[in-house]
Chain A
Amino acid sequence: MSKDYAYDAIIIGAGPAGIACAYTLAKNGKSTLVIERGNTPGSKNVTGGRLYTYALDMVDEGLAAEAALERKVTHEQIIILDGNRSISIDYHDPSFNSECKSPQSYTILRAVFDEWFANKAVELGATVACGIKVDGLIEKNGQVVGVVAGEDNIYAGIVIAADGVNSLIAQKAGLISDIKPHAVGVGVKEVILLPSVTIESRFNLKKDEGASCLMLGCTEGIHGGGFLYTNRESISLGCVFVVDELAGHGRQVHDIFQELKMHPTIYPLIEGGETVEYGAHLVSEAGYREFPKKPYKDGLLVIGDSAGFVISTGYSLRGIDLAMVSGIAAARAIIAEKDPVRVGPVYMNELEKNLLMPTMKAVDGYYDILEIPRIYSSYPKLAAGLFEKLFTVDGKVPRSMKKEIRGLIKQNGLSAWQLIKDGFRGVKSI
């Protein structure tokens, strides 16, 4: 037996995009239903592990201060790996993250955060229905008017697809094409329990402080990289690989990741810890250049990961904050424009106004750099080789660094011309 319900808005997916949208709509008196296929919000979600908190305060002032977060990121690290060798860069400024009203970013665990965030929307009157999968959309004269979930047809003024990177809903609606293997990475991650004092001593942290660490040169030359985030009492360690390059590779994804765990620089950081979860998720690597032309149609808006709101510059990764900002934009459009047929262009306008599209555009050049295959293998080798030469003292007459560099360039199958070209491309792109 099917039942019919009516809501102002139905949101598919209780992730940060969907909940930011639901929160804003509910706060403005709109009847809002969020449908989540997981048992609880966040139970299907995996992230590397950091949230830039400005987005939470954009949802509602003061929200960041009470959020279910892990550690404020005070150490920004980059590790370049080559074989057993590594070069570490650690940016730490004691005033970093303390002068602003709330710290700039926190590490997070999604099962914890998403559930907290969803409850905040519920407090404002939104309904979050978990354990229900949306199977499809209901269309009437080309306009989306509701969703089908099992035997139920549920109707709403507008439907918002916030079902994540692998958005079957947006694909079925014809708004995004099937995901291309070059435009997406697969991320794998372990959550490893460690006492907080151990984490603090290993990463040189004060209580509540945290480290974010990105790793290059740990993907066997495949476009991608590793990540490590310190949580309160655990470490999130993972690795991302662009799928088409991985597919042509001989080794299984979890094998390459296990090798990263055992790396002489990484293993001491997690030694004695207990792995309690192994997760995997796709992450968009498409950027602004492959952003869907029209993330909306009559009666339907696409937000968050579903639309491709992810930024990867190589030194920073953003997704959760952008997802929330897109959710806010969708909500504001729905509040401002009553006619579901006209709400799409208003949503696009809101994305411009709240600086999301300009931000995506501004960093698009970084994707040119990340497409240089040499960054993932030859350059880490070159850098490690250079440091080896710098620190080697063996009693012999040192060769000039110029000669050493020339030798290393040749040894790594590179040419000076290639380096200049890549350097020029790098400077041009940023």
Chain B
Amino acid sequence: MEAPELLSLNKFNVNEKEAHIVINKEICAQCQDKPCLIVCPAALYKLDKNDIIFDYAGCLECGTCRVVCKNKGIIKWEYPKGTFGVNFRYG
């Protein structure tokens, strides 16, 4: 199963007004390794030419991207506001 199909099984309450993770594309473009492309279990970091594209909507809130981000292209990483984000029904 591909990541989008797996994510479609989960229950999310996406905060359309505010992203809980924000990246700075210019900093990310300078990053050689781009480990976020590999480690995100939801595969939400994608490469378009040399630009990182990121969509916070399917985020599983694990925090792995924050841990590997060396060049601090992730300029904001917070948990979503209360009630928003993923809702595990099994866990």
Contacts and interface: CB of A to CB of B under 8 A. Distances in A.
Interface of A: 37-39, 42-47, 109-112, 114, 130-133, 149-150, 165-166, 168, 179-181, 184, 186, 188, 190-191, 234, 236, 243-244, 246-254, 258, 275-282
Given A37-B79, A133-B79, A246-B39, A277 B89 contact: yes
B25 interface: no
A39 B87 contact: yes
14 contacts: A44-B88, A46-B88, A114-B91, A133-B80, A166-B63, A179-B67, A186-B62, A190-B6, A191-B90, A246-B39, A249-B38, A275-B9, A277-B9, A279-B88
Interface string B27-58: 00000010101111111000000000000000
A149 B90 CA distance: 27
B38 to A, nearest CB: 6
Contacts of B67: 166, 179-181, 184, 243, 282
B61 A44 contact: yes
Contacts of A150: 81-82
A109 B90 contact: yes
Nearest to B68: A247
Query: Taking chain A's interface residues, is the majority helix, strand, or loop, or is none over half, making it mixed?
Result: mixed
A253 B88 contact: no
Contacts of A254: 3, 6, 41-43
Contact of B1 (A112, A243, A252, A275): A275
Contacts of B73: none
Nearest to B59: A280
Given A133-B79, A243-B68, A275-B1, A280 B60 contact: yes
Given A45-B91, A243-B64, 4 more contacts: A37-B80, A38-B87, A44-B86, A279-B60
A39 B61 CA distance: 14
A251 to B, nearest CB: 7
A43 B91 contact: yes
A132 B85 CA distance: 12
A280 B41 contact: yes
Contact of B88 (A43, A165, A247): A43
Contacts of B91: 42-43, 45-47, 109-112, 114, 277, 279
A243 B70 CA distance: 13
B86 A253 contact: no
Contacts of A45: 88, 91
Contacts of B71: none
Contacts of B37: 252
Nearest to A178: B67
A275 B89 CA distance: 13
A246 B13 CA distance: 29
Given A277-B10, A279-B60, A131 B90 contact: no
A248 B38 CA distance: 8
B90 A258 contact: no
Nearest to A190: B6
A111 B91 CA distance: 5
Contact of A252 (B43, B82, B86, B87): B43
Nearest to B66: A166
Nearest to B6: A278
